[in-house]
Structure formats: C-alpha cells, structure tokens
Amino acid sequence: MIWLAMRMLTGDRAKYVGLISAIAFSSMLMAQQTAIFCGLMLRTASVIQDMAGADVWVMDPKLQNVDEIKPLRSDDLYRVRSVPGVAWAVRLYKGQARVRAEDGSYRASVLLGLDDATLIGAPAQMLQGSVGDLRQPDAIIIDDSGFRYLFPDEEPHIGKAVEMNDRRAVIVGICRASPPFQTFPVVYTRYSLATYFIPRERDDLSFILAGPEAGLTNEEVCERIRTQTGLQALPRLSFLWKTIRYYIGSTGIPVNFGITVALGFIVGTAVAGQTFYLFVLENLRHFGALKAMGVADGRLLAMVILQAAVVGVMGYAIGMGMATGFFAITGNMTHLRGFVLPWQVMAGTAAAVSVIVLLASALAVRRVWVLEPAVVFRG
C-alpha cells in the first residue's frame, strides 16, 4: 500500500511539485521572519550579553530598558557597596557619543565607560590588542564591525586616531562584540575618559555592576539592595529579559513580523489544502476501486495521511534549506551579522507545518471516508 500511495502521489507531477513548493515557501517564510525577529530582540540587549562578570545590575527604580537611562548619583555607588552581601560594586557608563574620523566623516556610537581600576565588563573576545591597553592615555577599544563603519576602505587595525567630543582618542584594541539594535560602532574606554568623550552632565553614572558574596545568590543580593537603597537591582538575565519585553510590548516590531508569519501560515494552508483536495478528488476512482476490492477505510485513510506527511516533510526540508542558505549568505554581511536560525525556530516551524499538513488533509480524508465503492463503476 505504501508503494501504491506514492505512485498516486507522484502520478501528477504538477500537483506534486505544487504541494511541495507551497509548504516549502510557507516554512521558509515563517522560519526566516521568526529568526530575524528573535535576532532583533537579542540585539536590544547586546550590551547586557557582552558584560562579562556583571552578575547584578543596579539602576534607577523607574528604568525600563538598557537604552533609556536616568543617571544615578555618585553616592549611590557607596550605598550599594555598603549593602551586606555585596562583594564588590563598580561604575558603568553607557551612552552615545559621536565618533569623527580623520576625513571628517562621523557616526554615532555606543560608548561604554568601564571602571578604571577593575575594567569589569571589558570585551571577552579581543581580535587585536589587549584589554589592559585601555589604561593608556586617550585609549579606546572598538568592535571590528564598528571599525569598518568608520573606515570602510581599511581592514581593522590599531593605532588609528579619532575625535570624540573635540578630544583625541586612539584605537588600542579591536574586539568582537554582539551587534547592537542600531548599527552603531561599540566603543569601550575607561569611565574617567568616557566622561570627557560626552557632553558634560551633572550625573554620569548609568549603572552600577555588582557581585554577590560567596554563599549568596544574585536574587538575594538584589533584594537586599532594593530594600536598603530603594534602587532597582536585577540579575543579569532578568535585566536582559526586561529589556526584550519592553521592546516587544512598546514597539510595532512584533505585530509586523507576526503578520508576515501569519500570512505565511495562511497562504501555505490555503494553497496546500486546495491542491491536496484537488489531488484526492482526481484519485477518488482509485480509492473507490480499492474499497471495492475490500481495502478497509483505515488503510485508505492511512494512505492519504502518508501522502500528506511525505509532502510535508519534503516541503519542510526544502524550506529549512532555503532559510539556512539565506542566513549563511547574510551572516557575512556587516549590517546583518548576528542573525541565525535557532533550533527552537526550526522546531516551531516544524510544528506549524504539521498543522498545515493536518488542515490540508482534513477535507481530503473526509471525502475518502464517505466514499462509496460504486463510484468506480460510474461513467
């Protein structure tokens, strides 16, 4: 029966290819758009991802995400350090600064000012230079993609001088950083230098990074900080998800991507369902003949489900191949780096394709179920 079902399925090549193409296009569209959405949301929290060793983030009580910052007072650092259970606490500046190249071109950048003494939060992956070089005068470290934004005709290298807030800055290191939400260069420097690279404000302390003493969890220390100082304190992962939830709930990005994914699902269901239904209608005489020869309804229904499953698996495989190829090509582009196809997206797409196949075969199964064997004897 398996051989016969496959012969019936591939008998009309046009409908066979049409079924596979519909599911392949649908699965590719759903997977690609969902993966891009996930990549964008992760970009919103890129700074949090890259801050190695920052277990606890302390911030203004009303702060909602890592980008909209209300600076803390300088004495807040000492208040946090005095909380029982806090092993250490250091300053962090995060903001935007205009970086001007030698030819006069400029770009906005994500500027991160690290604690002068400890350099906690420094980039984990250095491509050129070392983190310790930040202690040199006027020193900055820039990510490799940011260097290409500023100097598109040069390969990343150290020693270049740029201007930030009318002050000279020297690139002493090239690092690998997670791509930010906006395609800005990511610049690391010491906290004391960061305050000179930006227009002067009354308060410059964006965040306080802290770590718990041995034997205490991040959550316990955060609760103590909140109780004693009134500041907002969150574990690193909680702050990351708080930022992502803000962008999901406060922007139109989820709606736009959701509409595209829904259209892919609807189009796949409609096209595959109509084509598969017509395929079964054209083969009703064959199903009737099998029924007349005594083949049970369950066996016929299994044939229809097998045909639908084969189409679904082949369409899904081709669709995932196209989506993977898209990300393999665009992954080498500077502006599109960081977008990948997670296995969770592939699993979710497989579930959606399964639903499409079930919906597409539902009407066809019903026609076979109520089929009268006498149909084979009609003219």
Helix (H) or strand (E) holding 343, with range, is helix 343-369
Confidence (pLDDT) at 300:
65
Last residue of a domain, one of 196, 230, 264: 230
What's the pLDDT band for 272 if we cut at 50, 70, 90? confident
Phi/psi at 209 (nearest 5 deg)?
-95, 135
- Whether the predicted pLDDT of 4 surpasses 60: no
Whether 278 and 215 map to the same domain: the answer is: no
Residue-level pLDDT at 337: 75
Is the residue at 55 inside a domain? no
Are 88 and 199 contained in the same domain?
Answer: yes
Residue 91 · residue 120 · CB < 8 Å: no
pLDDT band at 270 (very low <50, low <70, confident <90, very high): confident
Asked if residue 58 belongs to a domain, the reply is no
204 and 79 together in one domain: yes
pLDDT at 132 over 80: yes
Q: Does some domain include residue 241?
A: no
pTM given for the model: 0.83
pLDDT over 70 at 288, yes or no: no
| Higher per-residue confidence, 114 vs 372 | 114
Q: How far is Cα 107 from Cα 142, in angstroms, rounded to an integer? A: 13
Same domain for 364 and 263: yes
**Between 62 and 105, where is the model more confident?**
62
Name the percent of the chain lying above pLDDT 90.
44
The torsion of the CA quartet 219, 224, 225, 228, rounded to 10 degrees, works out to 160
pLDDT at 379 over 80: no
Residue-wise pLDDT tens digits, 169-203: 999 999 999 888 888 899 999 999 998 898 777 77
Containing structural domain, residue 181: 73-230
The Cα 209–Cα 197 span in angstroms is 21
**pLDDT greater than 90 at residue 166:** no
Q: Specify whether the CB–CB gap between 97 and 165 falls below 8 A.
A: yes
Residue 59 lies in a domain: no
250-270 mean pLDDT: 86
Question: Does 63 fall in a domain?
Answer: no
Helix H or strand E segment including 93:
strand 86-100
Buried b (16+ CB within 10 A) or exposed e, 180-209: bbebbbbbbbbbebbbbbbeeeeebbbbbb
At 189 the pLDDT is: 95
> What is residue 143's predicted lDDT score, i.e. its pLDDT?
94
Domain count, the chain: 2
Tokens of 268: 């796949």
Counting residues of the chain whose pLDDT is more than 70, the rounded percentage is 85
Let me know whether 296 and 147 are in one domain.
Answer: no
pLDDT at 294: 62
Whole-number Cα distances in Å, 233 to 45, 93, 120, 211, 218:
17, 16, 18, 11, 10
- d(Cα 150, Cα 12) in Å, to the nearest integer? 57
Cβ–Cβ under 8 Å, residues 121 and 49: no
Q: Residues 264, 359: one domain? A: yes
Q: What is the pLDDT of residue 7?
A: 64
